[in-house]
Amino acid sequence: MMTIRRSDERGRVNHGWLDAKHSFSFGSYYDAEHMGVSSLRVINDDHIAAGQGFPTHSHQDMEILTYVTSGSIEHKDSMGNVEVLPAGEFQLMTAGSGISHSEFNPSRSEPLTLLQIWVQPDQYGLEPGYQQKKFTPQQGLQLIASPDARNNSLLIHQDAYLYQVRLSAGQTTSHQTGAGRTIYVHLVSGEITINGEALSAGDGATISDVTVVDFRCSEDAEALLFDLP
């Protein structure tokens, strides 16, 4: 079974400096029918103006992934990490027992676009942690995060796997999943067909009760695939 949520159906907030689309309920946007999928709680598509960002704020008991799609973000946190995350890199922050951080667009002229993703952990009160990694781009599926950090992926505290999917026009690939698992696909860019259903940039698809997820690319595309409990 597959349920598709089109990009223009997502919640939207515009604060001037921040223009964001929310795949699931977040902040002032609430939709009882879209509270997340399995342990996946948030996918925010944020566009942040030059020189703007989020001042210091706190999180607790959440695995927070950030993926910059253009520009760069400056990160500072209460663990002493001061990092710049450029386009193409992934950051995973374990909020655990509590962490404070700020996120800003350091450019004076260029906007910043990013995906912020929250996954509920399988344990509470974990020791806070920070990871950042640049992955060499690969065609097909590439593992980004896993519960055992296999294949040099980021360690996530949940029985969840995040893959980056990159395909050129005409290419195909597939993902095999276990019984009882739920798949969520967020299309970052391009156009792609998943198990016969066409998706465009910003669309999301929840897939269950299948063993294989087939991708067929009609134009160069990038997606994130979450394999969830």
pTM of the model: 0.96
C-alpha distances (whole Å) from 141 to each of 147, 175, 203 are 17, 8, 18
Q: How far apart are CA 90 and CA 67, in angstroms?
A: 5
Per-residue pLDDT of the chain (229 residues; tens, 9 = 90+): 999 999 999 999 999 999 999 999 999 999 999 999 999 999 999 999 999 999 999 999 999 999 999 999 999 999 999 999 999 999 999 999 999 999 999 999 999 999 999 999 999 999 999 999 999 999 999 999 999 999 999 999 999 999 999 999 999 999 999 999 999 999 999 999 999 999 999 999 999 999 999 999 989 999 999 999 9
Break the chain into its structural domains and give their ranges: 2-228
Q: Does domain 2-228 have CATH number 1.20.140.10?
A: no
48 and 112 Cβ atoms separated by less than 8 Å: yes
Nearest to 11 by CA among 3, 1, 102, 33: 33
